[in-house]
Chain A
Amino acid sequence: MLRTILKSPAPVRCIQSSLYRGAVFRPAAMRAFSASAIASHGHIHKPKPGEELHITFITKDGEQIKVEAAQGDNLMDIAQAHGLDVEGACGGSCACSTCHMIIDPEYYDEMEEPSDDENDMLDLAFGLTETSRLGCQVKMTPELDGVRVALPAMTRNLQAKDFNR
């Protein structure tokens, strides 16, 4: 499934590096209601000139969004800082799985294996794939320059294990 998402010929929107200036960025779609809009989280560093790492996020609508990121920042913070719809309910503590992302298989192998704790949370993620990761646990490294990352569609019929039976 991932390959089809990654290949979708959706328009490419480039986000200017001026975004890094404000601590919190409000994407265009939200600016219309800026009086009541709630900004996304995401605190990231400005990459040093010449050391920008490139990521293409593929939204659940198939839109491709190219961003530049600094080494060491994690995929969830980066996505949020660019106004992408990633909630991150536990604030990046590896305790919720709401930052689930699907990694381009070519890059997945370049990453360190997920920890037991991350795998425990991935078990609960909806629509898990072979190359699923928790965005908050993946830090950008030079090896990941150019990675493509799909944000899975939110789905109503969740499979998350019953909390209470």
Chain B
Amino acid sequence: MNRVAVVGSGPAGFYTILRILKKRAVHVDLFEALPVPYGLTRFGVAPDHPEVRNCQERFAEVAGSPHFRFYGNTTVGKDVSVSQLLQNYHAVVFAYGAETSRGLNVPGSQLPGVISARDFVGWYNGEPAKQGLKFTLDRTEDVSIVGNGNVALDVARVLLRQPDDLRSTDMPEHAIAALTKSTVKKVHIVGRRGPVQSAFTTKELRELLVEPQVQLDPIVNLTEYIELAKPLGRAEKRKMELLLKGSTSPSAQRTWSLDFMQSPSEFKGEGDLLQSIEWTINTFAPGSKSDVVPTEKSVTTPTDLAVLSIGYKSVELPGMKEAGMTFIKDKGILENHRGHVTGVPGAFAAGWLKTGPTGVIASTMMDAFSVGDEVVSYLESVANTKLPGADDLDLPYAVSWNDWLEIDRQEIDRGKSYGKPREKFVSVPDMLNAL
């Protein structure tokens, strides 16, 4: 049987494996840097969206296949090298997602009062690398989120919702405690372009609009923006109708706004709090209904904390270049054609590493299926030489799937006393000590 290595246990990794195993009997070894699987469905997807995480049940079924092995706590590029995988397997699928966040290069963006959505999300979802972070929530009234995708709305919802409503989710206790002390009153979500070009989806918008005790400020010039952008597609139309209706929570304790056509040009602050953000006002480019260009005009708004939610970015693994792979830095993707990594037969890219960090689980899934098909047809063309797979790798600290099931069981158990679905272990040592 052919041997396939997969790097990264997020949706891309698991859906690629699912597709391969549906079509061909192969041995699959899945390498994951953390002791726990599932990638952003554990550390990205909001705790109050448990239904989105249902895909994990399917991933667990895949892991139950007799020819599947899990090597958690095993970082490719460190614990095992890229070249070793290429030698030991007939095919290697890189699906390690987008580790870092895109930054902004404007004055003041390095101030402590400017944080990344990725850090904040990782913190409230119990991602080990983000647990040392401290946020100024107990001294912050006014938050500005730069960027208006669904991640921005997730962050806004977590900041605006009553913390009591989050108690029944799997948000770790330390995050609930910090949010309980939060003094946040206002969240601005600021986009570079107009409302019709906003990246958030109708579902996430609706959720915030119906949230009790949370009120959206009316959007300035909304009808003009809509007129300008006509004709609208179905999804745009439905989203705009919802925005026109707005929200009605007169007794709201917390408010939010959607601001448009602004890009930050300078962050100003003292200590760990911000004082203000200066924004360049944008206008539509000549002849365009959607592209914007900066104007000479600017506006300054007071704010205590800025959250940058302008996208994620993949990183190159050590040893990739030496193996003949090309990492496209500005796009943050591994160069590939339909998933085949350029120049290295048998190497594949899937998920956010292949497509760039956009799209939902559904789109990641469909893309992973297409990569799975490519892997299967590639395997049909290679000689079935005997290869060792992980058998000759020295991985004394690897976490097996059964180990993960034990961690999982204990997390669920810990959750019971809090009345929540699980209380996550939030550090790697705690995860390993559970075993």
Interface residues of A (CB under 8 A from B): 30, 33, 35-39, 41, 87, 89-91, 93-98, 116-117, 119-121, 123-124, 126, 128, 154-156, 158, 160-165
Contacts and interface: CB of A to CB of B under 8 A. Distances in A.
Given A155-B366, A156-B367, A162-B149, A120 B201 contact: yes
A89 B367 contact: no
Across the A-B interface, give the 6 residue pairs with the lowest CB-CB distance, nearest first: A93-B51, A91-B54, A123-B235, A120-B203, A162-B358, A160-B363
Nearest to A120: B203
B245 to A, nearest CB: 11
B386 to A, nearest CB: 18
Given A95-B51, A96-B362, A162 B22 contact: no
Interface string B346-377: 00000000000111111101110110000000
B67 A35 contact: yes
B181 interface: no
B55 A89 contact: yes
Interface residues of B, number: 50
Question: Taking chain A's interface residues, is the majority helix, strand, or loop, or is none over half, making it mixed?
Answer: loop
A164 B25 contact: no
B362 A98 contact: yes
A158 B367 contact: yes
Given A90-B51, A93-B54, A120-B201, A160 B206 contact: no
Contacts of B363: 126, 158, 160
Contacts of B115: none
B22 A38 contact: yes
A91 B24 CA distance: 25
26 contacts: A35-B67, A36-B66, A38-B21, A38-B62, A39-B61, A87-B58, A89-B54, A89-B58, A89-B365, A91-B55, A93-B52, A94-B51, A96-B55, A96-B362, A119-B238, A128-B234, A154-B366, A156-B370, A158-B359, A160-B363, A163-B150, A163-B359, A164-B151, A164-B309, A164-B311, A165-B311
Interface of B: 11, 18, 21-26, 49, 51-52, 54-55, 57-58, 61-62, 65-67, 147, 149-151, 199, 201-203, 206, 234-235, 238-239, 309-312, 338, 357-363, 365-367, 369-370
Given A95-B52, A96-B52, A160-B363, 16 more contacts: A33-B21, A33-B24, A36-B25, A36-B66, A87-B58, A89-B54, A89-B365, A90-B55, A97-B362, A123-B203, A156-B366, A158-B359, A158-B363, A160-B359, A163-B149, A164-B151
A164 B21 contact: no
A120 B150 CA distance: 13
A93 B49 CA distance: 11
A91 B358 CA distance: 22
Centre residue among B21, B58, B201, B360 by max chain A CB count within 10 A: B360
B147 to A, nearest CB: 7
Nearest to A34: B25
A57 B120 CA distance: 45
B199 A37 contact: no
Given A120-B206, A158-B363, A35 B25 contact: yes
Given A154-B369, A164-B312, A165-B147, A37 B21 contact: yes
B366 A126 contact: yes
A163 B151 contact: yes
